[in-house]
Structure 1
């Protein structure tokens, strides 16, 4: 259920990589709008939660760029452009990850960090708790050598968790996806 907010939610930047929405009502609204963030201590709540919301930096940048939240550090506003520069310095290949994240969100997918699957993102059609993520996405640099062993390793991981494995890369400013589906012969 979406809650109308009297003011734009504030995500506090605690250090260069952790953001928290402390206000519980704002946290619920952001999470319930399209599964952004994770409630502290309850990554997939079944009902309303009573804890702050943790945002991944790519989620926070997306929400700030869309003017849904504002980012602050010690009660001082940080523009999404300034936050992007902070994240670029903190995270390897942040801009590439952000571009893929944004592209998937614009296409209507729910995108969450994929760390538990050993990849960049887990991608849902409806959202955590509503369906299982059918895809895991790994972003690779277009100049990287991809070996057969890398593909087999990724395929085994995706098969183990029953997901399609997608490689994403950016070539000449175009985001490209390559999906691997595995089956038993």
Structure 2
């Protein structure tokens, strides 16, 4: 399948390919559409917009080829674009990949003030039980961070998870705060 680099996003312009990629695991966001359920996908004719980390993940798996001006962008070049333009891109990508490889659906967590929302089944099927906030490597967790996690996990009833990448092993490390009613 073919995607076109547009700024720091990759656009799947062909509607049939856009639908096929979305159905593989809720990748991307349809242009001008919000909260698309699986039973609505086949009716859409919109392009699909992928974040750079989503496009890289799909390209590494041989599902997507990314082009710019009819020139194919190799995987390492795509990674380089991310590194040059997005702070902590490699770590953010490793965290994204970690959850995807475990079988989770990973979407933007912006509406929760987080990096990612992580679903077990997908948006429109279940609610995201977890929001993930990126913690830069070698930065400790402050009391303010813990209070923020507790407040957010309580207000949205989700597990609030800090994610970081341990150096030099590149292992993803997680610590979560779970909402509980006592």
- TM-score range relative to shorter protein: over 0.9
* Superposition TM-score, scaled by structure 1 size: 0.91
SS in 1 for 2:24: helix
Say whether the 8 Å CA contact 1:134–1:163 is kept in structure 2. yes
**RMSD of aligned Cα (Å):** 1.2
CA deviation map 1:53-101 (0-9, x unaligned): 0101110110011110000111110011101001111101000010011
Which sections of structure 2, spanning at least 5 residues, go unmatched? none
* Superposition TM-score, scaled by structure 2 size: 0.92
* Count of aligned pairs between the two proteins: 176
Q: 2:6 aligns with which of 5, 14, 17?
A: 14
Partner in structure 2 of residue 90 of structure 1: 85
Which sections of structure 1, spanning at least 5 residues, go unmatched? 1-8
Structure 1 consecutive aligned stretches of length 4 or more whose deviation exceeds 4 Å = none
Partner in structure 2 of residue 178 of structure 1: 175
Q: Give the Cα–Cα distance (whole angstroms) in 1 for the partners of residues 147 and 165 of structure 2.
A: 22
CA deviation map 1:37-61 (0-9, x unaligned): 1111113223121100010111011
Partner in structure 1 of residue 27 of structure 2: 36
1:153 counterpart = 2:148 = yes
Give the alignment of 1:54-65 within 5 angstroms.
54-65=49-60
Of 174-183 and 61-70, the range deviating more from structure 2: 174-183
Give the alignment of 1:135-146 within 5 angstroms.
135-146=130-141
